[in-house]
Structure 1
């Protein structure tokens, strides 16, 4: 059952997509966080057990009610997310970003509040984790497994697009027939930013194998490049299921997702000599700092670099 939202929340969500260019997925995440935030504070205010939080009506929340909120209310909500909901630091960091964006909108864009309680709200520290990726041999094993799939040409093409183009799963799902022009693929990334990625021989060969077997699209509007056996555009969950099936039958790596294939593509391209700026364009990162996550070097490589230092043999 759809939650009835207060007008101020609806206005903010519209602002997110129409003015700031946030994707529908990001909008839904912000919506989820703010609905939870409002429901939690109403539960505290009305002495309702948090076990019943999903039943709380927030439709009557007004700007006057929001004006009474303080930094302590935000801390209380973050404590609830950490202790009771057991949200990770990354999940809590997203909620902080949501709250900061919402209150900044209320003060800076709408001039509805004089004090921004989220100004001093700190973001939880997130430990840096090396991205999970497949080595070249593992990736080849993964590709080989597509031959055993029911729709082998399609699944082979999907995996080759991930590994050669380094695209996100949402970008792959949104590809259309007209996205491919010769060797170039026009990819629509985060914030509807468009980039053109070149297809190498392996990727082009996979596409040419797939197209003659492509299912007939039964929907309306533009023709998607990848069509399910039901004649519909692929959803992210369906692509994830294909990757999971391949993983289960071969490597059985923990939490191997389509995004990990993107990590694999970027890492192996970097190891093959791709420079950081080229990778930034291929991956569609707005900041090179994000791309640098993929340029991790394994300990063994670091040791070899240190050993090859010309000063290594100079011992006094």
Structure 2
């Protein structure tokens, strides 16, 4: 397995499936891990079923990789060998007769508690109010703290992935700020809505400011240097905000996404509508938020303990 093969495979996934940067980077990392194993064990083509089983044991017993990591590494490798066989039938895939079951513990998402969400929003609004008092008018560009708060609100309301939000361009938002055209995983487009009137006005104002200072193809959110705000930068902002407010575990964009889904289901929104909003390909991915809501309900009922109250 040459380095050129790795590069060609990753490039083909990028060109044919238009996969995102993080997915492509994970593919490359998975293939490099197997390449190191191949060199250490002097594997040569054609590889066998036993070679794959040995690699699975290596991941599990020697590297002590997590089950989800093991599954991803094997799925990437299987995809690579299928791609290679399609290009050269003289190199059959060693996965033809391999059956490996990796049990992945099902962990519940960790949404942000409502009280913490309220504290975050209040802190942001206080900062915005202080800025207005210092004389920044409506026509002034938003501060970075203001943009951070706006993104947090959008994450809570829309359930967008942070990469989907930071990749938005000015043209992706409707003139009234109520709809966003999102390019999701696998280049699947979907429309999400901004139902809150106050947030819609704030969002529209930001979009108008951006359109006046750039083309409709310009990034919607910028960093302090005037370039597109990157997901990693926003994550750092959330860590700093968490530290400032004493929030543990620290805030992450994906926790806001979990919050969006959980809040909607708790408010009675149909699960298939939540699935469409989040861009989940499989309903099972969305169903876990029903379990989160049920878990919260059980904790609340245990705290109340109605029967004990009646007996007292």
- TM-score by shorter chain over 0.5: yes
Structure 2 gaps of 5+ residues are 129-142, 302-312
Q: 1:55 maps to which residue?
A: none
Q: 2:25 maps to which residue?
A: 28
The Cα shift of 1:259 comes to 0.6
**Does the C-alpha gap of structure 1 residues 304 and 80 become closer, same or farther in structure 2, counting only changes over 3 Å?**
closer
Contact 2:243 2:250 in 1 (8 A): no
Q: For the residues of structure 2 that align with 1:157 and 1:279, how far apart are their CA atoms?
A: 22
| Aligned mate of 2:150, from 157, 164, 168 | 157
Pairwise CA RMSD: 3.0
Q: For the residues of structure 1 that align with 2:212 and 2:57, how far apart are their CA atoms?
A: 51
Q: 2:139 maps to which residue?
A: none
Q: State the TM-score, normalizing by the size of structure 2.
A: 0.80
Where does 1:43-122 land on structure 2 (aligned, <5 Å)? 43-45=40-42, 65-67=44-46, 69-108=47-86, 110-117=88-95, 119-122=97-100
Q: 2:280 maps to which residue?
A: 285
The Cα shift of 1:268 comes to 0.4
Where does 1:254-273 land on structure 2 (aligned, <5 Å)? 254-273=249-268
Residues 1:14 and 2:11 are matched in the alignment: yes
Q: For the residues of structure 1 that align with 2:102 and 2:271, how far apart are their CA atoms?
A: 28
Where 1:134 maps in the other structure, the secondary structure is coil
Q: 2:238 maps to which residue?
A: 243
How big is each residue's C-alpha offset from its partner over 1:93-130, in whole Å with a ceiling of 9 and x where there is no partner?
11011111112222346424235336414142111111
Q: For the residues of structure 1 that align with 2:212 and 2:224, how far apart are their CA atoms?
A: 8
Contact 2:242 2:250 in 1 (8 A): no
Q: For the residues of structure 1 that align with 2:250 and 2:80, how far apart are their CA atoms?
A: 32
**Does the C-alpha gap of structure 1 residues 80 and 196 become closer, same or farther in structure 2, counting only changes over 3 Å?**
same
